[in-house]
Amino acid sequence: LAYVNSTDPTQSYDNTVFHRLVTGFVLQGGGFKFNEAGTDTATTFPTLTKLPPVANEPGISNTRGTIAFAKGGDPNSATSEFFFNLEDNSGSLD
């Protein structure tokens, strides 16, 4: 909730964009913001400032319609990015 409640514009989900869509798999966002004054990709879509990672919270399955944090190889590496499961992904993501 720190990203949702943040008053720091560099750490807030305000003006973030969905940057990854894999049809029938996931829709991902929370990694980049939209800056109307940007002049190239890096300044138009700057990365969201990351807060410290959160601990993994196993137990909720990645079924269709659920939301989850995106993580790297470390299960405790979730920061700002999240995704919606567009199908039942419990077999590959749980």
- Cα distance between the two ends of the chain: 22
Q: Cβ distance 14 to 69 under 8 Å?
A: no
Give residue 72's pLDDT: 86
Local confidence pLDDT in tens for the 94 residues of the chain: 888 888 988 899 999 999 999 999 999 999 999 999 999 999 999 999 999 999 988 888 999 999 999 998 899 999 999 999 999 999 998 8
Q: pTM (2 decimals)?
A: 0.88
Beta bridge partners of 85: 26
